[in-house]
Amino acid sequence: MTEKTVTPTVNSAGYDVPPELRQSVAITTLDKIWNMGRRYSVWPMMFGLACCAIEMICTAASRYDLARFGMEVMRPSPRQSDLMIVSGTVTKKMIPQIVRLYNQMPEPKYVMAMGACASGGGPFKEGYNVVSGVDQYIPVDVYVPGCPPTPQALLHGLMKLQEKIDRESITKVRWYQKDEIPAIPVPILGPDIIDPRDNAAIREMASRKAAPAAPAAQPETAEAPAA
Ligand code: SF4
């Protein structure tokens, strides 16, 4: 009787799998397992700001079906959310609430700027009441262009986010490092929006304005010639 020869198999991670284990054991990396868990359970926060939010609602409805991404559970609390979809015009009145909600989300957390308004101000850019892009305050992972983006565009953005998650490593992502990540200072709404991170520059500018003006140079007078 001739013995069946089995060629050694090396899996994609580069490990030699013994023949008796090939049908029952899979070898992979911790990063792949970790990322797979996260990519299929990104729970978006349930909030919308303007017209783009209607497209986001359509995406979650039956025709487009967010459930196939494991994202159908839109959470009404930032404490249970992994993804903030900023869908609409970011006004100066709203940005303090957006930053506060972002700070309240547990890590790992992601942000998507949906539409021209959230990405850079859109048709209201430079308007008296509009922030020129939410990325001036919170870090954005994926930008979805359009005014408004279609549900298909939003789905494409969600797939891009999944690809980004696939490339992450738990040893390198910022939220698993030793140092604590400080919360983003919440902007203050006064007559205009104030970013507390600009406080030092604002103080310096104010002190320069308040400083007494240097005395004006006196015109030189010519000495009278001796008689
Ligand atoms: S990008 Fe266009 S559709 Fe979206 S919130 Fe702004 S104006 Fe509305």
Report yes or no: 182 and 197 within 8 Å, Cβ to Cβ. Answer: no
Preceding peptide of 148 cis, ω within 30°: yes
**Nearest CA owner, ligand 1 atom 8:** 51
Indicate the burial class of 222 (C-beta count within 10 angstroms; 0-12, 13-18, 19 or more): exposed
pLDDT at residue 222 is higher than 80:
no
Q: Find tokens 């709203």 and name the residue.
A: 94
Q: How far apart are CA 97 and CA 74, in angstroms?
A: 18
The model's pLDDT over 81-127, given as tens digits with 9 standing for 90+, comes to 999 999 999 999 999 999 999 999 998 899 999 999 999 999 998 88
Give the Å distance between the CA of 110 and the centre of ligand 1. 21
Position 102 scores a pLDDT of 96
Tens of pLDDT, residues 9-45: 666 667 777 788 778 877 788 999 999 999 998 999 9
Place of tokens 């922030």: 131
- Ligand 1 atom nearest residue 51's Cα: 8
Q: Is the CB of 117 under 6 A from ligand 1?
A: yes
Give the whole-angstrom CA distance, residue 17 versus residue 30: 17
